[in-house]
Structure formats: structure tokens, C-alpha cells
Amino acid sequence: MDLYEHQARELLQENGVLVPRAEVVDTAEAARAAAERLGGRVVIKAQVKTGGRGKAGGVKLADDPAAAERTAHRILGMDIKGHTVHRVMVAEPVEVEREMYLGFTLDRAAGRFAAIASAEGGMEIEEIAARRPEAVARIAIDPAEGVTEAKAAEIAVAGGLPPETAGTIRRLWTVLTAHDALLVEINPLVVTRDGAIVALDGKVTLDDNARFRQPSWDDFGDRARDPLEARAAAAGLGYVKLDGQVGVIGNGAGLVMSTLDVVAGCGARPADFLDIGGGASAQVMADGLSLVLDDPEVRSVLVNVFGGITACDAVADGIVRALDTVPLTKPLVVRLDGNNAARGRAILGQLAHPLVHQADTMDGAAARAAELAA
């Protein structure tokens, strides 16, 4: 479960990380009142769970309460990558001397967490790592040891952060472990002109599997969930919204993860992770396809199914059923293999829909979906 920025900053603040004073409002008039309480000059920040808010015009500086009201009025209701802005955060501005990046993330391949630190912040860390990988330090964390004072100092040195950030590094690790997070990051982490270490923006992803031991998560409710993720949860689908253009549907988490990798290897970015399960019915397939097609970021959809408990003809029936009720306006690439694959392919062949493409292999299907999304 991803949190909104204002929810992430609450966790940071509760664990001793310095954040600017701020209020969250849902009307332009309330933004003006908040600006008056915060000293007049404020930053208005759209509260949506996607990156690129600044480039989209969702983060603006307002010089006085009247400007805060006008700015909030423009941002509220804005569409940012398919996310409608319903709330804005009105935050106290900070005099920044230096911007940095700090985060902890789950390294699934290594079976442990990793610290990521960089002396450069305020940009997408992926962009920095792609252009100059030497500028981003990645340090493995022994789960039995955690982040000690010595480890925090090691992370600071490796990332080129000042020694004064060691305390913030340890507190950020506490956020991760105490709240069962898969990702916590501060970007940018700044040094202010008076020498304070302050988190200007935070991102937190919680592990849904730990919900049973985190009763406080109920306070977040579906306010923290992407609307498509909330809809998927209500339908009992294993869905995670990603920041890409190729919708991915498969049966089984391993197959879906492999499909995401193959899509990425073809130069495209997956728009989601959707696992319809090993025994999914035609109705589940129809529900999943309808969900992915409703994502405005999706440019093509890839259905990759290996028929086992879920027979391929049932999957094909589900696709046909979905297209009876949902207009197909985006290319759909289908790869069926395994139990009743020939029958499933025949069903889709009889459909003869101009936007439905079939492929024999996963590599071929991913390449075709990436091509159609370009």
C-alpha cells in the first residue's frame, strides 16, 4: 500500500525526522486559511500517488495567502498521470542549502534490505543512477544487525552525505521496521541554511502482508490506495499500480513477475502487476481486463497465461466476455500456452477483433506489446 506524501511525512515526523510545518486541505479557501496560519508564504503540493508532480504543475510556491488560494484552486481537480488531485498540502517553505537523497528498499534478489544514498537529490533517483551510477551508493543491510550508529555512518560516507545525517538515517530505518514498509525514501533530504537536516518530501510503501499486525493502518483507509488498487481489492484481485504504459495480466505471481521483466527488457515500462491467480474463472479474467483497460496510462495490454488449473479456453472466454461490455480502445496482445491453449487461441481467432493480437511466446508477446505502446 502506497501512502500519500502527507501520510508518509506523518510517519517520518512521528519517528523524529524533521519535516516542515504543513496542513492538508481540500478547498482553495482552506488553503488560504492554512497559509495565514503558516506565515503567508507557502508551497502548495498536489497530493497524488505518482511522480512528476512538479513537472505537471502540481507543486507551486505562493507568496501570500491570496496567492495560495489562487494556486490551490488551479491545482485542485488537476489530472496528473491519470490521478485527480482532491487534496493539497500547504507547507512552510525552507531555505535550502543542499539537496540529497536517502532511502531504504527491499532487495528481493538478496533477501534483505538495502540503503540507497546520494549527495544529489530533488530528481528521480533512477535518472541519476542511469546517467552516473557512481553518484548513487547502495549498501546492504544485515537484517539481524539493522542500522547501528556505525552502519549509519557508513551509509553517510558511501553516499557523500554529511555526518550530521547519521541520526536521520537511523530514524528512517526505524520508520521502515516499525511500520513494516517495503520502501521508505526522502527526496530531497536537505540541509537548510541554518544547518538543520529536513525531509522535504517522503514516500512510503507498506507491506500489505503485515496488515494483520498494524492496526494503525486502518486510519489510512482507502485514502492511501490508488483508486484502481481499491477497485481491485474489492474484486479480490492481486493488483499493484505501476508507472508505465503496458498493462500486464498473468496467472501466478512468478509468471507475472517474469512478464514484467521481459516487458522492461523490450524497452517498455509495465503499467501494473495483475495476478488473476491459478484457478481464476472467466469472470475474474473479465474483471481484471476491465480494470487494466480503465487505466488512462495504459497504451497496450499483455495477457500472458500458462494454462494449468486455469484453462486457456476459460481465459479466452473471459476476454470475450470483457469485450462485450468494455470497448477495446487499446491493443491487446494475448499469449496462451498449456492446458486447452489451442482451444483458447481458436476462440480469440473467431472473435476477429482488429485490436486483439496473439503471440506464441512470452518474448514475442512482450515485444509486440512494447511496440504497440510506443
| Active site members | 101, 185
Q: Give the C-alpha separation, 274 to 292, whole Å.
A: 8
Q: Which residues contact 204 (CB under 8 A, 6 or more apart)?
A: 2, 3, 7, 8, 11, 175, 179, 181, 183, 184, 185
The rounded distance, in Å, linking the Cα atoms of 152 and 190 is: 17
- Nearest Cα to Cα of residue 188 among 61, 19, 3: 19
With a CB cutoff of 8 Å and minimum separation 6, the contacts of 349 are: 358
CB of 368 closer than 8 Å to CB of 355: no
286-310 burial: b if 16+ Cβ within 10 Å, else e: bbbbbbbbebebbbbbbbbbbbeeb
| Amino acid in the structure at residue 1 | M
> CA nearest 17: which of 204, 150, 210?
204
